[in-house]
């Protein structure tokens, strides 16, 4: 379904994207909304860093931005409370963490559980946390990729929705791998997952990702991408 197929007058999903950095995933989401592939309105972009280049991408697209610098808060709970209050005011149906480099408290996650997705640069459950590309090279992994998952209180541990993988080229360094993950996987799978969620085709039910009425036993793959997302 795209804009042309949507029911006239039907409310569109309200999307908020939370970033810390360059905003390439944000740019992919904005492009997909513009092209009518995601039936959602991007109502706000929030960053925990004032110098995140992604803020300029949002501003150029006319999306309101808010900066909540984590360094202004005494602890994690205080920052998360401020972020939660900002998000609440946006009334989001979908919260997309896109290169958001903060560990979230359980209370925060519980409030937005089922509405919050993350994209992580590895084939989860392999290589949770930071520096995933270096970890892949160190381990000599044959394959690498990225995963979109529902956010749960376990770091990078929530139910996976879709995963894209490729064979690790023999001579890639960390930087090349990072670019490859972004270009060949993340910029495709994240807009697709958000599009499914905006259409009501993807939910979290009792801790299980459900796609078109069926529990996902395995994450979807690049082969499941719809035409416009390939």
Residues in the interface with ligand GAR (CB under 6 A) total: 17
Taking residues 159 to 198 in sequence order and writing x for each that binds ligand GAR by CB under 6 A, - otherwise, the string is ----------------------xx---x------------
Return the number of the residue (155 or 208) whose C-beta is nearest ligand GAR. Answer: 155
Give yes or no: 120 in active site: yes
Taking residues 18 to 57 in sequence order and writing x for each that binds ligand GAR by CB under 6 A, - otherwise, the string is -x-xxxxx----------------------------x---
Contact flag: residue 158 with ligand GAR (CB under 6 A)? no
The neighbour count for residue 81, using CB atoms within 10 Å, is 15
User: What's the angle, vertex CA 169, arms to CA 192 and CA 171, rounded to 5?
Assistant: 135
Backbone angles phi and psi of 10, in degrees to 5: -70, 140
User: If we measure between CA atoms, which residue out of 62, 63, 11, 70 comes closest to residue 39?
Assistant: 11
Contact flag: residue 116 with ligand GAR (CB under 6 A)? no
User: Whose CB is nearest to ligand GAR?
Assistant: 99
Q: Name which of residues 80 to 109 contact ligand GAR (CB under 6 A).
A: 98-99, 101
Spatial contact of 207 and 159, defined as CB atoms under 8 Å apart:
yes
Return the number of the residue (59 or 101) whose C-beta is nearest ligand GAR. Answer: 101
Q: What are the tokens at 129?
A: 């946390």
Q: What are the tokens at 121?
A: 């640069």
Spatial contact of 115 and 92, defined as CB atoms under 8 Å apart:
yes
Instruction: Calculate the CA 109 to chain-centre distance.
Output: 14
Distance CA(61)–CA(195), nearest Å, equals: 19
Q: Which of 70, 120, 127, 144 is labelled catalytic? A: 120
Give contact residues for ligand GAR (rule: CB under 6 A): 19, 21-25, 54, 98-99, 101, 119-121, 146, 181-182, 186
What are the residue numbers of the active site? 120
């Amino acid at each position: 379904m795209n804009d042309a197929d949507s029911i006239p007058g039907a409310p569109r999903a309200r999307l908020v994207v939370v970033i810390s950095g360059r905003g390439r995933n944000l740019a992919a989401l904005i492009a997909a909304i513009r092209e009518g592939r995601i039936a959602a309105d991007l109502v706000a972009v929030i960053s925990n860093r004032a110098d995140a280049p992604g803020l300029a991408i949002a501003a150029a697209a006319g999306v309101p931005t808010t900066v909540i610098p984590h360094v202004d808060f005494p602890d994690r709970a205080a920052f998360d409370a401020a972020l939660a209050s900002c998000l609440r005011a946006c009334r989001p149906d979908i919260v997309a963490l896109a290169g958001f480099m903060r560990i979230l408290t359980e209370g925060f996650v519980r409030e937005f559980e089922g509405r919050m997705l993350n994209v992580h640069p590895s084939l989860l459950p392999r290589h949770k946390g930071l520096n995933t590309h270096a970890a892949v090279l160190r381990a000599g992994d044959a394959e690498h990729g990225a995963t979109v998952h529902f956010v749960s209180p376990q770091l990078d541990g929530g139910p996976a929705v879709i995963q894209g993988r490729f064979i690790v080229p023999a001579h890639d360094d960390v930087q090349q791998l990072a670019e490859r993950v972004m270009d060949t996987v993340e910029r495709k799978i994240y807009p697709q997952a958000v599009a499914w969620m905006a259409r009501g085709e993807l939910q979290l039910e009792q801790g299980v990702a459900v796609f078109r009425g069926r529990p996902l036993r395995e994450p979807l793959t690049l082969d499941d991408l719809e035409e416009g997302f390939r």
